[in-house]
Structure 1
Amino acid sequence: MVKFNEALLDRTFAALSDPTRRALLARLSQLNDLSVSELAEPFAMSLPAVMKHLDVLSEAGLITRSKTGRTVACRLSAEPMEEAMEWLTRYQRFWSGSLDRLVAFVEEEAPCPLSPASPSGAESAPRPRKPSARRR
């Protein structure tokens, strides 16, 4: 059985749980080596708020930062996501197998004959109408 670093998985999934952080990672996957200002550009939040998100991503090992002069550039680091994907793949196999067995079971069953709405075949009496607010 493969041993996973639980603390690393916890940090990775916690970092990925936020939609803003996922959007930052998606932006970095398309345009690598972006400055913090360039990364923050499309978001309707302050630069300090973006910096807090970047801190979480950095602590999880999902990004690396490098400073040149006054400019801080960010780069995607996918290694922690690879371990998370390996962990998820174990469960994908379980669910795929379970769903395959369910499909096989359903396909083996004979189709059910159409049954009348009422077992007696008699018509149901209409329900009495409730008084509406307009009639009062």
Structure 2
Amino acid sequence: MALRDMVAKGVVEEEKLDTWNFPVYFPSLEEVKAIIQNEGSFWVNQLETFHVNWDGSDSSEGGSMTDTLRSSYLIANNIRAVSESLLTSHFGEEIINELFDRFREKIEEYAVKEKTEYTNLIISVTRGGMI
């Protein structure tokens, strides 16, 4: 969304956005279980999920606006640490600060309305065959 905003303002070329690919896939619990079972070499001992806040905090109570602002900075900086070199090589270094400022704003807007968490999988398998 931040990149689309920058295209609309003429800061980023639309062609650059159209050719950008950041392949990320987050499988569901059912997909992971099916893949393990279909492969056939393991028994699934335990397959559970747990939720982690995007900013890494463990606060379960709703955050204040200050917390939301702080969280949005933490989240944007974490994503920047992972993706900056890929983004820089495709879009150029000159847009990166503005891109992540816009991204942080998008996160803040979202965090006010929705719980910001992702799901982690816990998987315990034993070699030997399907259940």
TM over 0.5: no
Higher relative contact order structure (alpha carbons within 8 Å, sequence separation ≥ 6): 2
TM-score normalised to the size of structure 1? 0.22
Task: Name the one with the larger strand percent.
Answer: 2
TM-score normalised to the size of structure 2? 0.23
Which one has a bigger Cα radius of gyration?
Answer: 1
